[in-house]
Amino acid sequence: MNQNFVDFMQDYKNTLVAVAVSGGVDSICLLHWLREIGANVICLHVNHQLRPEADTETEYVKTLCDKLNIPCEIFYWKDDKPESGLEAAARDARYKMMTDFCHEKGIEYLLVAHQSDDQIETFLMNLSRGSGLYGLAAMMPESERNGIKILRPLLNVPRAEIKQYCEDNNIKYFVDSMNSDEHYTRVKIRQNRHLLDEKLGISDNRILLAIQNLGRTREWMDKYINNRIDMVIRSWGALFVDSFLFDEAEEIRLKLLGILIQKIGGDEYLPRLNSLQNALCKLHTDCKFTLGHCTIRRLNNRILIVPEGKKTSFRKRHEKRK
């Protein structure tokens, strides 16, 4: 068992946690390791009903949990499947079902099995898109989704070690056929990532070190931005002078505006980067426009953000802060 995993779980050893288990090698290994350290855990498995082998995987996860004496909840994605954006829709549906269950049962933490190879692939995918700090810092060990804290205890564990553990212990797992489909950018990166080391001398460890360094900067920015947002957000929206945004560096400026719009509009994700850049350009002069289910208005040196459909009056408001 990996010591990084053991150290990570020390803070949660006496806490009931949920773990997402697909049937793939990463989540199956995570389930066994949680059982081995005596964690108080419940397994959550989502059958998306997209592949013929999905029902077989579901039965295996149920049987394995019975063998390990771990409670197991099975969910089925019965909604109509979109013709485009299927992968993202399936991911959103999966998290929605699992986090809804966690809320219902009073479970604060949901563990997922992203490991260090996933982290490197995410970094390279975001690099190919020209992402900024937040994209290049990749996945965080702890984040939040739908009000539930998402934990990634395998983020410092390589895929090879996980596979070796399962093979050494004769642990069965399934391989998703999508993992070899080169139509997906992640698969192309996975199959060609070795060239970075072989041709350029850029090792996995160096990439992970860069991600960790970027992650520390992101943590500082998150604390700073959250403190700033607390100064202006109210129950009805946000009202502030233009210097609140424009006295900041561009990266912070974009993040401030994005999080305000996300919180006030209630969306799962921040607006896209180009949308935020366009919004900031508009806010240099008096204007009124919508973005992310919000109405944003500037008048003189004041900027108001409210949920779309609400009044955009600048009259003094007396409601307490959130």
- Helix (H), strand (E), coil (C) string for 34-69: HHHCCCCEEEEEEECCCCCCHHHHHHHHHHHHHHHC
Query: 89-124: b or e for each residue (b if 16 or more CB lie within 10 Å)?
Result: bbeebbbbbbbebbeeeebebbbbbbbbbbbbbbbb
Mean per-residue pLDDT, 7-21: 94
User: How would residue 62 be classed by pLDDT, with cut points 50, 70 and 90?
Assistant: very high
pLDDT tens digits, residue range 172-231?
999 876 666 677 788 899 889 999 999 999 999 999 999 999 999 999 999 999 999 999
Cα Dmax for the chain: 69
pLDDT of residue 317: 60
**Phi and psi torsions of 297, nearest 5°:** -135, 140
What residues contact residue 110 under an 8 Å CB cut-off, 6+ apart? 17, 18, 19, 20, 44, 98, 99, 102, 145, 148, 149, 150, 151
**65 CB neighbour count, 10 Å cutoff:** 21
Mean pLDDT estimate for the chain? 91
What residues contact residue 165 under an 8 Å CB cut-off, 6+ apart? 1, 29, 32, 171
- How far is 159 from 196, CA to CA, in rounded Å? 18
pLDDT of residue 319: 45
pLDDT of residue 178: 67
- The β-bridge partners of 297 are 288, 304
- How far is 48 from 164, CA to CA, in rounded Å? 28
pLDDT of residue 265: 94
Mean per-residue pLDDT, 116-120: 96
- Choose between 104 and 89: higher pLDDT: 104
As given in the structure block, the two tokens for residue 10 are 């020390």
pLDDT of residue 285: 95
Residue 81: DSSP 8-state: P
Of 152, 155, 133, nearest to 142 (Cα)?
Answer: 152
Alpha carbon separation from 26 to 129, 154, 272 (Å, rounded): 26, 8, 31
Q: What is the pTM of this model?
A: 0.84
Task: Kindly state the helix (H) or strand (E) to which residue 281 belongs, with its residue range.
Answer: helix 273-282
Of 43, 259, 282, 32, nearest to 164 (Cα)?
Answer: 32
As given in the structure block, the two tokens for residue 108 are 């604060």
Give CA angle at 237 (273, 143), nearest 5°: 55
pLDDT of residue 37: 95
Q: Which stretches of 44-193 are DSSP H helices?
A: 54-68, 86-105, 116-128, 133-136, 159-168, 185-192
Pairing of strands 17-20, 109-111: parallel
Domains and CATH numbers, the chain: 3-200 (3.40.50.620), 233-322 (3.30.465)
As given in the structure block, the two tokens for residue 123 are 């970094």
As given in the structure block, the two tokens for residue 267 are 């969306």
- How far is 267 from 301, CA to CA, in rounded Å? 27
User: How would residue 114 be classed by pLDDT, with cut points 50, 70 and 90?
Assistant: very high
- How far is 119 from 136, CA to CA, in rounded Å? 10
pLDDT of residue 155: 95
